[in-house]
Amino acid sequence: MIAYAPYLILLLPLLAAVSIRLFLYPFPRISITVSTLACLVSFLGSIGLLLFGSSMGEVTAPALPWIEWAGLRANFGILGDPLARGMATLVSGVAFLVHIYSIGYLEKEPCRSRFFAELSLFVFSMLGIVLADNLISMFIFWELVGLSSYLLIGFWVERPAAGAAANKAFLVNRIGDFGFILGILGAWALFGTLSFADLPSRVAASAPGWAVTAVGLGLFCGCLGKSAQFPLHVWLPDSMEGPTPVSSLLHAATMVVAGVYMLIRVLPILEISQVTMMTIAWIGGLMTLLPALIACQQNDIKRILAYSTLSEIAYMVMAVGLGVAGPAMYHLTTHAFFKCLLFLAAGSVIHGCHEEQDIWKMGGLGKRMPFTALVTILGTLALCGIPPLSGFWSKDAIFAATAHSPGLAAVSMVAGFFTSFFMLRMILVAFGGTPKNDAARHAHEGSIFMTAPMAVLACLTVVGGLLPVESYLHFPHAEGHEAWTLWVSLVVALAGFVPAYHFYRHATQDPLSLPALRDKFYVDEFYRRVFVSTQDAFARLTDAFEGWVVRGFLVRGSGVVARASGQGLRLVQCGQVQVYAAVFILGVFLLIAWLWRQGVIR
Amino acid sequence: MNFAEITLGHYLALSSVLFLIGLAGVILRRSLLIMMMSLELLLNAANLALVAVGRFQGLPDPQVAVFFVITVAAAEIALGLAILVAIFRIKKTTAADQLASLRF
């Protein structure tokens, strides 16, 4: 029985979500306690797995037989390799901190119970992705995080923008997931197994070819959607309509990096095809730069961070594309710390300024919220890769991997320049200068529930680089560390601070105006013109079909026919009983005559 | 033609003639009273055919059926006459072609 204990890590948050939804909904305090405790126990369980899992072997819980159909065999099991154990600890740990933070952030929210139920559902689904031991169950949990993301983005149901953003996130993810499931089916067709344990050996035995490339690109589609990479990146900035803890947990630290995690899981398949790897590396490389440019002209504090998230995930994707999973996971871990911290600090700012998100309406927060300002600066330095903070070590590992691809190195280092630029811009505008309005003038720090998780994350941001992520994961270490990437990237990142300081030191409004960047390179407009309008036209066509053919012709038409024939047959009713009798008799004679001819009567 | 022997054919011929006369009465005559008398004629034409067949074939069943027909006919005429009287009281007529209010 004790062997099944790891399932508790997975199922406790689900239990919390279900019990809150069914029974505890009217009691917010109990709901919050149950949800937070479930997450805490999952976290402790994950730590247990992390520390003692290796002594139990690779698979830590017996798999339950689940689907066996026509050679397809999918168990419901829990994977216990170092990657899953580390990721589960990261997810549940960050989730626990965000739970604590949410207690303070949503203290005045009447629907807190629903929020915590959905948060627990998310923790369950995310741990499901991490611990899934085959692609089928991973896909199911993949869809479940999509659902929880949808629910949490649209948490403030009274805001139309939140509903629209939730729909957008869900629909854009559908596109990626469609490619993902095609990739899964292709992998099953090619390799005959979907279990992560069996895949490497089966893949090694198969020959490279266009089919493997197609499968790899299909699986990468799933990553494009969930990790919001080009061309499916448009949903992530909009998802900032959700509550800030959600942005912090789902859309920065854990859920959006599920795509990277999945890529690392299926790396044996991807590695066969050079085309797939190059595609992944270059989409990742370009995506480091594109959002970093856009973020330079954004004014919403959460959107700036969202674009930097896109950029940072792209570093991880690029690392996977370069075949180095270790640095990708390393950066994933440190990024989870400092980006979660930055979002929580942004939430603290928004909370302190009464829901104000425009950095140009803040100002002077450094004096009024010194703790938040401090952790924001720490997070920013880590994000920009300034030593000795955690981001430096992980980014350096990724830059080192680009040493032999000058194009990617150039693009990603330039992205680092702009990252430094827009982060310092954000800090100078929001925290420096003088308050722009009353809300900023009366800004204040949040309760202990909000500051404590930030303090913990700030510590992790500082020392997170020391975590032995790469050696723990046993990934093959990249050979030959070339020093030039370190120095170049560091100098470029530091250089980004200079123009930001120059432009925004005393700025009260944006001295730069770059419409193309402000309007996100018109990608949304392009999609609206091309895809949304096409789809609208198709929707109108089907609506017309439904209106004219189904409702008009088939439904109403049959009614009209019945009515008209009724009107016609009314004329037969002349009211003369003798006519009826005569017709009746005639009918009888005709019937007899017919039966006679048929030979029924003789 | 041998008049001494009356066969089943004769009975059935008479029955058919009676039936046709009754039918003509029901369809052609306007008075409801005459129409009901013609209905009686129709029923009795059927009765005659039944009795004749029963007699010539030596079967009891058709002859029993006749009793039922006579009973039903009696009930029918009693009801019919009652309705006829009721209609006459309201409409002041028993002509079938005047009683055509149940049309569209």
Ramachandran bin of A228, using left for φ above 0, alpha for ψ from -120 to 50, beta for the remaining angles: left
The pLDDT, as a whole number, for residue A378 is 92
- The chain B residue lying nearest A570, using CA atoms, is B104
CA atoms lying within 13 Å on the CB side of residue A435:
17
pLDDT in tens, A6-28: 788 889 999 999 999 898 888 88
Residue position matching structure tokens 């009209």: A560
Length reported for chain A: 602
**Between B82 and A571, the higher pLDDT residue:** B82
Kindly tell me if the per-residue pLDDT of A62 is higher than 80.
Answer: no
Is residue A81 a contact partner of residue A69, using CB atoms and an 8 Å limit? no
**Is A560 a member of any domain?**
yes
Measured between alpha carbons, how far is residue A413 from residues A262, A305, A355, A424 in Å?
Answer: 25, 18, 34, 17
**Is B32 a member of any domain?**
yes
Cβ distance of A585 and B100 shorter than 8 Å: no
Kindly tell me if the per-residue pLDDT of A188 is higher than 80.
Answer: yes
Q: What is the CATH number of the domain that holds B29?
A: 1.10.287.3510
- The chain B residue lying nearest A574, using CA atoms, is B103
**Is A550 a member of any domain?**
yes
pLDDT in tens, A167-182: 999 999 999 999 999 9
**Is A598 a member of any domain?**
yes
CA dist., res. A506 & res. B16, Å (int): 121
Kindly tell me if the per-residue pLDDT of B54 is higher than 60.
Answer: yes
Q: Quick one: average pLDDT of A293-320?
A: 91
Domain count, chain A: 2
- The chain A residue lying nearest B30, using CA atoms, is A578
Q: Is A598 exposed, middle or buried (0-12, 13-18, 19+ CB in 10 A)?
A: exposed
Measured between alpha carbons, how far is residue A36 from residues A93, A348, A458 in Å?
Answer: 11, 20, 21
List the one residue out of A328, A346, A347, A342 whose CA is nearest residue A382: A342
CA dist., res. A500 & res. B33, Å (int): 114
**What single string gives the DSSP state of each residue in B49-91?**
HHHHHHHHHT-SHHHHHHHHHHHHHHHHHHHHHHHHHHHHHHH
Cβ distance of B104 and A571 shorter than 8 Å: yes
Q: How far is CA A125 from the centre of its chain?
A: 12
Measured between alpha carbons, how far is residue A37 from residues A16, A43, A97 in Å?
Answer: 9, 10, 11
**What single string gives the DSSP state of each residue in A172-220?**
HHHHHHHHHHHHHHHHHHHHS--BTTTHHHHHHHSPPSHHHHHHHHHHH
**Is A495 a member of any domain?**
no
Question: Hey, is the C-beta of A578 within 8 angstroms of any chain B C-beta?
Answer: yes
Question: Hey, is the C-beta of A567 within 8 angstroms of any chain B C-beta?
Answer: no
% helix, strand, coil for chain A, step of 5: 75, 5, 20
Q: Quick one: average pLDDT of A370-384?
A: 91
pLDDT band per the 50, 70, 90 thresholds, residue A589? very high
Kindly tell me if the per-residue pLDDT of A263 is higher than 80.
Answer: yes
Query: Using CB atoms and an 8 Å cut-off, which of residues 581-600 of chain A contact chain B?
Result: 581-582, 585
**Between A43 and B2, the higher pLDDT residue:** A43
CA dihedral B54, B58, B61, B62 (to 10 degrees): 0
Domain count, chain B: 1
CA dist., res. A461 & res. A16, Å (int): 30
pLDDT band per the 50, 70, 90 thresholds, residue A525? confident
Kindly tell me if the per-residue pLDDT of A601 is higher than 90.
Answer: no
The pLDDT, as a whole number, for residue A2 is 64
Share of chain A above pLDDT 90, in %: 37
Measured between alpha carbons, how far is residue A473 from residues A84, A295, A470 in Å?
Answer: 9, 33, 5
Kindly tell me if the per-residue pLDDT of A474 is higher than 90.
Answer: no
DSSP A576: -
Gap from B96 CA to chain A (nearest CA, Å): 7
Cβ atoms < 10 Å from Cβ of A44? 15
**What's chain B's average pLDDT?**
90
**H helix count then E strand count, chain B:** 3, 0
Q: Quick one: average pLDDT of A55-73?
A: 67
Terminal C-alpha separation, chain B: 55
CA dist., res. A34 & res. A40, Å (int): 10
Cβ distance of A575 and B26 shorter than 8 Å: no
pLDDT in tens, B68-81: 999 999 999 999 99
Task: Note whether A578 and A601 are same-domain residues.
Answer: yes
Cβ atoms < 10 Å from Cβ of A119? 31
Residues of A in contact with B30 (CB under 8 A): 578
Best of A576, A578, A592 to substitute, by most chain B Cβ atoms within 10 angstroms, is: A578
Q: What angle do CA B55, B60, B64 make, to 5 degrees?
A: 105
Alpha helices in A353-405 (DSSP H): 365-368, 370-384, 390-401
Residues of B in contact with A573 (CB under 8 A): 102-104
**Is B104 a member of any domain?**
no
CA dist., res. A564 & res. A16, Å (int): 62
Cβ distance of B104 and A570 shorter than 8 Å: yes
List the one residue out of A458, A232, A180 whose CA is nearest residue A344: A458
**Is B31 a member of any domain?**
yes
Residues near A392 by beta carbon (within 8 Å), at least 6 away in sequence:
A382, A385, A386, A465, A490
Q: Quick one: average pLDDT of A180-202?
A: 87
**Is A150 a member of any domain?**
no
The pLDDT, as a whole number, for residue A552 is 87
Nearest to B96 among A573, A574, A577 (CB): A577
CA dist., res. A379 & res. A359, Å (int): 17
Cβ distance of A573 and B99 shorter than 8 Å: no
CA dist., res. A459 & res. A160, Å (int): 38
Cβ distance of B103 and A573 shorter than 8 Å: yes
Task: Note whether A554 and A592 are same-domain residues.
Answer: no
Cβ distance of B96 and A574 shorter than 8 Å: no
Kindly tell me if the per-residue pLDDT of B45 is higher than 70.
Answer: yes
The pLDDT, as a whole number, for residue B104 is 62
Structure tokens at A16: 């919390």
Gap from A560 CA to chain B (nearest CA, Å): 19
Residues near A26 by beta carbon (within 8 Å), at least 6 away in sequence:
A113
Structure tokens at A162: 């939140």
- The chain B residue lying nearest A579, using CA atoms, is B27
Q: For A483-487, A561-565, B36-40, B54-58, which range has the lowest pLDDT when averaged over its residues? A: A483-487
**Is B38 a member of any domain?**
yes
The pLDDT, as a whole number, for residue A153 is 92
Question: Hey, is the C-beta of B87 within 8 angstroms of any chain A C-beta?
Answer: no
**Between A442 and A131, the higher pLDDT residue:** A131
Is residue A466 a contact partner of residue A391, using CB atoms and an 8 Å limit? no
Gap from A596 CA to chain B (nearest CA, Å): 18
Cβ atoms < 10 Å from Cβ of A577? 16
Is residue A83 a contact partner of residue A91, using CB atoms and an 8 Å limit? no
**Domain limits at A584?**
572-602
For β-strands A72-79 and A59-69, DSSP reports them as: antiparallel
The pLDDT, as a whole number, for residue A362 is 84
Is residue A450 a contact partner of residue A348, using CB atoms and an 8 Å limit? yes
pLDDT in tens, A505-523: 877 777 777 777 777 788 8
Is A76 in a helix, a strand, or coil? strand
- The chain A residue lying nearest B26, using CA atoms, is A578
Measured between alpha carbons, how far is residue A391 from residues A34, A91, A321, A444, B87 in Å?
Answer: 34, 18, 20, 29, 106
Task: Note whether A525 and A553 are same-domain residues.
Answer: yes
Is A132 in a helix, a strand, or coil? strand
H or E element that contains A45: helix A28-52
pLDDT band per the 50, 70, 90 thresholds, residue A482? low
**Between A53 and A441, the higher pLDDT residue:** A441
**H helix count then E strand count, chain A:** 28, 2
Q: Quick one: average pLDDT of A379-405?
A: 87
Query: Using CB atoms and an 8 Å cut-off, which of residues 32-51 of chain B contact chain A?
Result: 35
Q: Quick one: average pLDDT of A29-34?
A: 90
- Give the ipTM: 0.85
Cβ atoms < 10 Å from Cβ of A510? 17
H or E element that contains A127: helix A112-131
Kindly tell me if the per-residue pLDDT of A464 is higher than 90.
Answer: no
The pLDDT, as a whole number, for residue A179 is 92
The pLDDT, as a whole number, for residue A58 is 52
Cβ distance of A577 and B99 shorter than 8 Å: yes
Structure tokens at A15: 């239990």
List the one residue out of A266, A464, A270, A446 whose CA is nearest residue A350: A446
**Domain limits at B80?**
8-96
CA dist., res. A160 & res. A163, Å (int): 5
The pLDDT, as a whole number, for residue A480 is 55
**What's chain A's average pLDDT?**
87
Structure tokens at A4: 């099944």
